[in-house]
Amino acid sequence: MMYKTVQMANKKGIFVQASLERMMKCGVGICGSCCVNDDLACRDGTVFDGDHLSQKSEFGHSHRTKSGILEEI
């Protein structure tokens, strides 16, 4: 749902921010379980702007399990 919302907003030229929900084990960026490509949700913020997220190949195409393993959706 977040992916579609960001896509629609970007298509219409509307600035949008999205809050990503990720499992955060350490909260300081050491474990990497909350990463979205090269961004860490715990360190870089859970809120990202839509343009930034649209450039990430993982956004809308995969998620991480509780153990931090990347899985396709």
Specify whether the CB–CB gap between 30 and 63 falls below 8 A: no
Residue 24 lies in a domain: yes
Task: Tell me the C-alpha distance between 27 and 4, whole Å.
Answer: 27
19-35 residue pLDDT tens: 988 888 888 889 888 89
Domain count, the chain: 1
pLDDT value at residue 47: 95
The verdict on residue 14 lying in a domain is yes
Domain-embedded: residue 67 = no
- Residue 73 in any domain: the answer is no
Domain that holds residue 13: 2-62
Which pLDDT belongs to residue 3? 92
> Is residue 53 domain-resident?
yes
- The token duo for 23 is 């499992």
Q: 16 in a domain, yes or no?
A: yes
In this structure, are residues 25 and 68 in contact, taking their beta carbons and an 8 Å threshold? Answer: yes
Q: Is residue 48 part of a domain?
A: yes
